[in-house]
Amino acid sequence: MHVDKAKKRIAKLINKGFGGYPQIELAYFGATEDCATEVVVSFVLTEGDAPQQQRFTSTQDVRNDETIQSVLIKIIDRAKAGTVTEVAGVALPQKNIL
């Protein structure tokens, strides 16, 4: 699937709002706010369940990586997600303080 088509499909699912469970949340992380090198997919089957997480990383921006965006669509489709959400922006990695 072309990256633009995948991004539009994900955005459309996010804009639908809450539609029940299962629920998938996408969170992007990177060294700068302009380049997300990691995406974390959190899956919650039913309300109150602990989320299951899967991470995908790339040396380039994962939001523009055709393979990763296609995989995200496949995960959403196979999970039959009722709700898809996205954490706004790109979170910077937290530094461990000892």
Tens digit of each residue's pLDDT (9 = 90 or more) over 46-78: 999 999 999 999 999 999 999 999 999 999 999
Q: What angle do CA 41, 82, 90 make, to 5 degrees?
A: 30
Residue 71 neighbours by CB distance under 10 Å = 17
d(CA 60, CA 65): 7
What is the pTM assigned to this prediction?
A: 0.88
Residue 96 has pLDDT above 80, yes or no: no
- DSSP letter at 22 equals S
pLDDT digits (tens, 9 = 90+) for 1-48: 688 999 999 999 999 999 999 999 999 999 888 999 999 999 999 999
